[in-house]
Structure 1
């Protein structure tokens, strides 16, 4: 298939404009983009799900995070190369559309939208549980409704409103992680005044059954448990299309992804597994970060962490709604979604795309309350492996887009993937291996099968549409 279907008469994007040509407004400031880029890699899963990963792999979970972190760094480098050359609201979906064919952009765009709509339901429910614990008089469903309505209003107001909320949400996450690493690091090396935990130290990495107490295979098990906590790092490339200086923002975010992954993920998990023995019951019962804070005598550690987790949840909700709506908008602009999705309000936001995304989010929340183990579990499984599909599409797209950019606008290739094409193919092999390895895990197997089924259905629609357009 040719990189651009001959029958495609859609207008080409005009990259690099201060005011986007598609009707969106460049309302995101550089400080917004910087914080979105930093906070985008810190999901609620890091705070909530790391305890089970530590229990499964022991201190070797550091290798799991390092492997997945390397994947994210490589994928973001590839995406950064394409986004810096051509900032677009549809990001990798638009690039796949051009490099691989319209079927690819259609398929991955709708799958990505579906993924974030389900995430909206998951995060709204998680936030509602925390808020209900603080104010039991308000039922959980009402809290879920309140947070969804609040963030919908924020996204409808203007893109700068989204950016401002995300700036502070992400800022709180960043400060919390930085403070945790600083205080925990002092305790690990016995430099924290008043610390009563005399068992903390690097010896915990090997003193309880070794660095790999469950064997090398547990590292791969850990990979399956942590890979989805990294989803969201690509949001900055979608948001760049509505920024004051898209290329500068993308270049800066791409170049900083290594230290962001190293500090926030590896740094914080290193603190946890050196403060406490990996097999401490507190890690799985209370959560890894709460257990670590308790061990060094931080008062009210549980409530402190609940505030941070709630912030992470609201940040994920805010960004999830933004991301889903911009992907729907991009699909509408390209004729792959209803034309109403491509309309913008006087404030320069795609109101119909936002409302359509939040409506499906509300429906998913309803499913979560009514049929949590049947219908909603099916939705979770069907979207579970979409993150890995997105990364694969980014890899294959970059293989083609490099040649297209070199032919048409070589001066725009200001970010380059390292060791091209060898490292790109190596990344494809690594992601494929993770997908295959998921088939050995019962929960992972369901996710792969259901996600493949969803992908096949969307792909079938895309191919039928393309064939009909050809006629």
Structure 2
């Protein structure tokens, strides 16, 4: 069967039309994609990392979350415009390949893959810590191994298995946060049945040094602490390529990202800072959500939150493996990775891409146990700023992809970026400012420097490959003498 090239991946046919063994399958149902879209924006970082943000910025952390939320909404709108026009397993990497050049697609694809395989190691270790606390007889390294093996087997079975696991993982997160907001809201008003928590209203927002107790600059410090907890919103655009109605799924996810961020991030953090004084030591010692549940009087709050965090960790690990493998698959299809990565089983699973991704994840877990403060610390710092690099590339890509789509397939522009190109340029300026501000913070500066060095190395490799390919083509076109 003859398949026409798409506007982003000339070598990759449409995933829904590929015969068995030649490509991915449309194995994700609408309910899977809906929950991936909702749960993808809720990472373990929201539960674990929010305490440090509150301690740094006070109630003003709400502004930090709002600023990053606006940035993510705009980036997702741009990505949604491109993904709805041409769903692809490579998502923004494939679009960058088309709009900015092969070097850009190669670079951002491999950086994104690197980011997620490191995240896999972090999440596997975090999950192992919780599980070892419940079953001390099994060592921590064994729990990390068990978790990764189980989720690898799930991803190897079929994309439907990944979708089903993620549906329930994300569902638990959504229900947990929704329940937290409702229960916490009732406690703030002093009307929670069975609780003697006094109504605090909005007093904690201003009663302890004001809304910005550490000054306006703390808002930007808060931005640096919370920005990376939003990474994962873009996963639905990769997953859409393996659904029966990818355009509809992308459009729906893009349009709903505003309320998802408003409810799950701003809503839950608002409950925390109204229930507790921002300078309560329990926020850092126990975690912001556990501290909030304890002050309400919820029994076994710590264990309840451990179950929720474990679910978030497993969800992130599951999605990390899926995302890394699909990016590797796309790179393989475009000739930017080993060709074996582009081969799929009869079930439409890119087995080699999955195994290569999880192998690096296992290696990173080993580094975490063997050389935590050296090799693994470097991996963490080297992947720390990749999220911002990805968002910046999405913005730059969309500037050019809009013209390409209008020229080649204008009828596919069913999702449009608002106020194009002004909001696109404004978002580029916002991301650039955050990257520049990272230089003023010691921990963030290390992440930016190491991530920048790795990015520069990957770009150099991409440009070298492109130059060699160009030289080879020139040689092939040169007249041959007898």
TM-score, length of structure 2 as denominator length? 0.95
C-alpha displacement of 1:193: 1.8
The answer on whether the counterparts of 2:46 and 2:229 sit within 8 Å (CA) in structure 1 is yes
* Other-structure match for 2:301: 301
The alpha carbon displacement at 1:445 in A equals 0.5
Q: Is residue 286 of structure 2 the alignment partner of residue 290 of structure 1?
A: no
Moved over 2 A (4+): 8-22
Q: Does the aligned pair in 2 maintain the 1:78–1:417 contact within 8 Å?
A: yes
Give the CA deviation at 1:200: 2.7
1:208 CA displacement: 0.5
Distance 2:139 2:229 in 1: 28
Matched, 1:451 2:467: no
List per-residue Cα deviations over 1:424-462 (Å, max 9, x = no partner).
Answer: 000000000000000000000000000010001000100
Answer yes or no: is the 8 Å Cα contact 2:94–2:105 preserved in 1.
Answer: yes
Contact conserved, 1:20 with 1:26, CA < 8 A, in 2? no
State the match for 1:208 in structure 2: 208
Q: Is the 8 A contact 2:48 2:287 kept in 1?
A: yes
Aligned to 1:377: 377
CA contact (8 A) 2:39 2:171 kept: yes
Whether 2:348 is the aligned partner of 1:348: answer: yes
2-structure distance, mates of 1:370, 1:126: 16
Match of 2:38 in 1: 38
1:267 is matched with which residue? 267
5 Å-filtered alignment, 1:332-371, equals 332-371=332-371
Q: Take 1:81 and 1:276, find their aligned partners in 2: how far apart are those partners?
A: 41
- How far has the Cα of 1:11 moved from its partner? 3.6
Which residue is 2:220 aligned to? 220
Q: 1:142-181 alignment to 2 at 5 Å?
A: 142-181=142-181
In structure 1, distance between residues paired with 2:228 and 2:147: 23
Contact 2:8 2:94 (8 Å CA) reproduced: no
Unaligned runs of 5+ in 1: 1-7
Corresponding residue of 1:122:
122
Q: 1:103 matched to which residue of 2?
A: 103
Alignment partner, residue 82 of structure 1: 82
* Superposition deviation, residue 470 in structure 1: 0.5
C-alpha distance in 2 between matches for 1:117 and 1:435? 23
Give the CA deviation at 1:17.
4.2
Q: Deviations over 1:2-44 (max 9, x none)?
A: xxxxxx9974545584658961000000000000000000000
Alignment check: 8 A CA contact 1:18 1:245 kept: no
Q: Is the 8 A contact 2:187 2:198 kept in 1?
A: no
| CA displacement 1:194-253 (0-9 Å, x = unmatched) | 322226321110011000000000000000000000000000000000011000000000
The CA RMSD measured in Å over matched residues stands at 1.4
CA–CA distance in structure 2, aligned partners of residues 460 and 445 of structure 1: 22
CA–CA distance in 1 between the matches of 2:12 and 2:340? 19
Following the alignment from structure 2 to structure 1, what is the Cα–Cα distance between the partners of residues 185 and 19? Answer: 45
- Indicate conservation of the 8 Å contact 1:16/1:247, yes or no: no
Q: Which runs of 5+ in 2 are unaligned?
A: 1-6, 472-482
Contact 1:283–1:291 (CA under 8 A) maintained in structure 2? yes
For 1:450 and 1:20, locate their aligned partners in 2 and report how far apart those are by CA, in whole Å. 42
Contact 1:36 1:167 in 2 (8 A): yes
1:216-255 map, 5 Å: 216-255=216-255
In the aligned structure 2, how far is the partner of 1:289 from the partner of 1:19? 46
Q: TM-score, normalised by structure 1?
A: 0.97
Q: CA-to-partner distance for each residue in 1:315-366, whole Å, 9 max, x for gaps?
A: 0000000000000000000000000000001111000000000000000000
Cα separation, 1, equivalents of 2:372 and 2:244: 42
Distance 2:264 2:65 in 1: 11
**More moved, 101-110 vs 20-29:** 20-29
Alignment correspondent of 2:191: 191
CA offsets, 1:168-199, max 9 Å, x none? 00000000000000000111112212322226
Equivalent in the alignment of 2:426: 426
Which stretch shows the higher mean deviation, 183-192 or 132-141? 183-192
**C-alpha distance in 2 between matches for 1:9 and 1:39:** 27
Q: C-alpha deviations, 1:356-415, integer Å up to 9, x for none? A: 000000000000000101100000000000000000000000000000000001010000
What is the distance in 2 between the residues matched to 1:14 and 1:431? Answer: 33
Following the alignment from structure 2 to structure 1, what is the Cα–Cα distance between the partners of residues 75 and 411?
22
In 2: Cα distance, 1:123 partner to 1:400 partner: 36
What is the total number of aligned residue pairs between the two structures? 464
